[in-house]
Chain A
């Protein structure tokens, strides 16, 4: 069962910064509220789906 399925943490989706022009992959890895998701692009390396901190 994934974290998404348990409802313990929401998958993180980067929002565009409204005051800035956004560069780079908007799905790149970030930590939000202590939860550090592994996005698909990085998961390709490890076959991983998520990680916490």
Chain B
């Protein structure tokens, strides 16, 4: 069973959804048959590259003062999933380079580790993901060759793959993230409760099983 997940590393619901899916996989009888691939989606593609703006300021500028209170509410929900968001420290950046490196990590079989490391760095540690040195260090911690990560950042490698992912998400009907696709047959939008993810996994598996039996 193949699960593709469109997501951004600065998307709070993506991190919460990741945890909820992991909880569901913990109860899924066939979790060892699941392969996860992380796909790219940029929430703030117009943010200038190489800059980092405090997320609190960025949100107030875009959505008004109440955005601060709203972020606190999302942080409360994250805490219920064991994620201690540091909303005061978070920095909004252009995530193109993060996504290019996630493609590298996917190819190296380290996609999930790299995704988790980048999400944690952004939401909990307040890391500056616009800094190439920070990104190389984080990818290294996730088991990706730091020299290879540096070479990717020094080039345009995987930029087309990031764009292709975004276009594919649109083609599949995603209007936001996180967006989960199972075996290119089922679409699941949003940070569903773990029970909903588990139901979806079992539905898709049963369908796959029946399809195989019919062949």
Contacts and interface: CB of A to CB of B under 8 A. Distances in A.
Contacts of B135: none
Given A21-B185, A25-B196, A34 B62 contact: yes
B192 A30 contact: no
B199 interface: yes
A18 to B, nearest CB: 5
Interface stretch (B25-33, B99-107, B108-116, B173-181): B173-181
A52 B68 CA distance: 8
Q: How large is the interface on B (under 10, 10 to 19, 20 to 34, 35 or more residues)?
A: 35 or more
B8 interface: yes
A12 B16 CA distance: 17
A48 B14 CA distance: 18
Contacts of B178: 30
B56 to A, nearest CB: 10
A25 B195 CA distance: 11
Given A28-B196, A30-B191, A46 B76 contact: yes
A3 B59 CA distance: 12
14 contacts: A3-B66, A3-B67, A14-B175, A15-B175, A25-B192, A28-B196, A29-B17, A32-B175, A32-B176, A42-B77, A46-B77, A49-B70, A51-B67, A51-B74
Interface of B: 8, 10-14, 16-17, 43-44, 55, 59, 62-64, 66-67, 70-71, 73-74, 76-77, 80, 92, 171-179, 181-182, 184-193, 196-197, 199-200, 203-204
Interface of A: 1-3, 6, 8-9, 12, 14-36, 38-39, 41-43, 45-46, 48-53
